[in-house]
């Protein structure tokens, strides 16, 4: 083992002088210490907290600042600008009088970033959209990690036929291009309402994109997890545990899962970033989040029709996606350096 981080199941090293000394900090504690000492991790973590906080406060912003319902069309709405009531949707009066253009950024409380082609407040929708994008990406990440952990651990620990079947299943899913698979699943799932016993999932539910995005990336995580489990299964402390007759479930729970957890944690922020991009892509293609729900992807799609007249409608969610993904990747890089035993910088 090249890492200075002890395996959870191994014995602590003896003091060279032979005297007793306090046990070394556990891997989790050292990970937290590492994160706290990294300026990149602190700044990116702070940025992420601010983004999450902003999206959580979306209802407050919409109700008390923008004073609008961002899910309701406001095609006939009016706004007071410089003491004059102006329509949110401005009808062209010049030339042939063609076209209706939504109001641009006012940089004030109402319509801070202007309106979209339904006359809705873009800033309020951006916050609500961010809420959904983060919920979907977070839940999909969790779903993906749980599925990948179960498949990877079972395949890696059981070996034999179970491993062959599960590995081939993973390879089969892996063989599909991610977006092609996600779009195909979306088209199938969005056309139906699922009712499994008491569970009722409508096509417009956020659960649909969560399931789709969560599942398509399972092979990408399950593979490395399986490899790690195989390595741990053949390590001395697991062999010793087996030799002592400890039940497999206990070995899995006490020795293997804690060691695999670090791998899963390293994957989490990067997977989350990937999921935000995937969700936005699917929603942009109309196969992700469905109206009346909004996400950064759907706002991006709304903005596409206003690219020339009101570019801010597409730029705003674009920037939000870029910043969030960048912060997640920066945070994930630091986390990997701390937790991944194979990381060069982590040695």
Shorter beta-carbon distance to another protein: residue 35 or 208: 208
Smallest separation, CB 277 to another protein (Å): 20
Residue 50: other Cβ atoms inside 10 A: 11
Give the separation between CA 144 and CA 214, rounded to whole angstroms: 5
The angle formed by the CA atoms of residues 270, 337 and 237, to the nearest 5 degrees, is: 105
Residue 108: other Cβ atoms inside 10 A: 12
Tokens of 8: 């959870």
Smallest separation, CB 193 to another protein (Å): 9
Shorter beta-carbon distance to another protein: residue 3 or 286: 286
- 92: Cβ contacts below 8 Å, ≥ 6 apart: 98, 99, 100, 101
Give the separation between CA 240 and CA 343, rounded to whole angstroms: 28
Q: DSSP of 109-163, one letter per residue?
A: STTTT-B-TTS-BHHHHHHHHHHHHHHHHHHHHHHHHHHHHHHHHHHHHH-HHHH
Shorter beta-carbon distance to another protein: residue 52 or 75: 75
Q: Which residue has the tokens 């390293």?
A: 266
Smallest separation, CB 290 to another protein (Å): 6
Smallest separation, CB 73 to another protein (Å): 4
Smallest separation, CB 302 to another protein (Å): 9
Shorter beta-carbon distance to another protein: residue 31 or 77: 77
The angle formed by the CA atoms of residues 249, 250 and 253, to the nearest 5 degrees, is: 85
Give the separation between CA 328 and CA 134, rounded to whole angstroms: 12
Shorter beta-carbon distance to another protein: residue 238 or 294: 294
Shorter beta-carbon distance to another protein: residue 100 or 319: 100
Shorter beta-carbon distance to another protein: residue 102 or 269: 102
Contact set with another protein (CB under 8 A):
71-73, 75-76, 89, 91-92, 94-101, 117-118, 190-191, 202-204, 286, 290-292, 304-310
Give the separation between CA 246 and CA 201, rounded to whole angstroms: 42
Give the separation between CA 181 and CA 281, rounded to whole angstroms: 13
Residue 85: other Cβ atoms inside 10 A: 8
Shorter beta-carbon distance to another protein: residue 27 or 114: 114
Shorter beta-carbon distance to another protein: residue 53 or 98: 98
Smallest separation, CB 139 to another protein (Å): 20
Smallest separation, CB 50 to another protein (Å): 30
Smallest separation, CB 27 to another protein (Å): 46
Contact 186/208 with Cβ under 8 angstroms? yes
Smallest separation, CB 63 to another protein (Å): 17
Cα separation values, 165 from 14, 147, 197, Å? 43, 15, 29
């Amino acid at each position: 083992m090249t890492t200075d981080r002890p395996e959870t199941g191994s014995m602590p090293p003896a003091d060279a002088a032979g005297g007793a000394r306090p046990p070394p900090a556990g891997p989790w504690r050292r990970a937290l210490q590492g994160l706290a000492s990294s300026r990149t991790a602190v700044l990116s973590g702070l940025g992420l907290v601010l983004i999450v906080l902003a999206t959580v406060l979306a209802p407050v912003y919409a109700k008390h600042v923008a004073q609008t319902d961002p899910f309701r069309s406001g095609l006939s709405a009016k706004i007071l600008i410089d003491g004059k009531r102006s329509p949110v949707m401005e009808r062209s009066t010049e030339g042939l009088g063609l076209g209706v253009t939504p109001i641009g950024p006012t940089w004030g409380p109402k319509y801070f970033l202007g309106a979209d082609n339904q006359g809705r407040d873009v800033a309020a929708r951006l916050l609500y959209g961010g809420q959904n994008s983060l919920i979907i990406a977070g839940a999909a990440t969790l779903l993906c990690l749980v599925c990948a952990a179960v498949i990877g651990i079972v395949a890696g620990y059981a070996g034999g036929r179970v491993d062959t079947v599960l590995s081939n299943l993973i390879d089969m899913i892996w063989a599909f291009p991610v977006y092609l698979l996600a779009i195909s699943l979306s088209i199938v799932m969005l056309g139906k309402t699922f009712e499994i016993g008491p569970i009722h999932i409508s096509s417009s539910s956020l659960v649909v994109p969560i399931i789709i995005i969560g599942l398509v990336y399972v092979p990408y995580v399950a593979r490395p997890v399986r490899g790690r489990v195989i390595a741990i299964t053949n390590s001395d402390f697991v062999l010793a545990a087996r030799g002592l007759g400890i039940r497999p479930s206990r070995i899995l729970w006490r020795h293997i899962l804690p060691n695999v957890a670090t791998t899963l944690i390293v994957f989490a922020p990067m997977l989350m970033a990937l999921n935000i991009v995937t969700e936005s892509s699917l929603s942009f293609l109309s196969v992700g989040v469905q109206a009346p729900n909004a996400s950064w992807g759907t706002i991006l799609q709304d903005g596409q029709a206003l690219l020339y007249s009101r570019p801010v409608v597409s730029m705003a969610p674009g920037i939000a996606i870029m910043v969030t993904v960048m912060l997640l990747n920066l945070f994930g890089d630091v986390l990997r350096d701390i937790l991944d035993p194979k990381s060069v910088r982590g040695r």
